[in-house]
Amino acid sequence: MIKHPEPYLITAGGKIRCRRCKAQSSRTKLQCSKPALKGKNVCQFHGGKSTGPKTQEGKDRIRRAHWKDGESSKEAREAQSAKSLMFCYLDDLMHHLPLMSGVEKRAGRKPKGYIAYNLHTKEGLEAALEKSKPSS
């Protein structure tokens, strides 16, 4: 394995000096030995020619090609996040009230948008109750 490979390659019998591809093999951890494309850091085999879709039609075509089901769409993730937030507030309320005695609170990261309200105040309790209502 080459620790510090040369950043440039000499090709065409020493007539052309070009940059070396920066891609690395995940199996052998060796750097690619092909020259990088002009203005890029990788060769054509490691994505140097790829520019991705530019027009909205091209982007929509790629989105349709990768669509499997609606479970991982942006709308589905937002709905799941809202539901998780609602259950988090319900969990807080049930532990504040003696409804879940002997049961520990849920472990893990709180959902996005979670605010830890002080449930010992009237305002905090009302805010948590409002957030724990299911959205229709």
Domain coordinates in residue numbering, the chain: 1-50, 73-131
Question: What pLDDT is recorded for position 55?
Answer: 93
Return the sign of the alpha-carbon dihedral for residues 3, 7, 11, 13. negative
pTM comes to 0.49
Q: Show the CA angle centred on residue 30, arms to residues 28 and 35, nearest 5°.
A: 140
Question: What pLDDT is recorded for position 8?
Answer: 78
3 state SS of 18: strand
Question: What pLDDT is recorded for position 77?
Answer: 85
Which residues of the chain fall below pLDDT 70? 1-5, 136
Question: What pLDDT is recorded for position 23?
Answer: 85
> Is 32:21 a contact under the CB 8 Å cutoff?
yes
Question: What pLDDT is recorded for position 50?
Answer: 77
> Is 128:93 a contact under the CB 8 Å cutoff?
yes
Question: What pLDDT is recorded for position 69?
Answer: 75
Question: What pLDDT is recorded for position 83?
Answer: 92
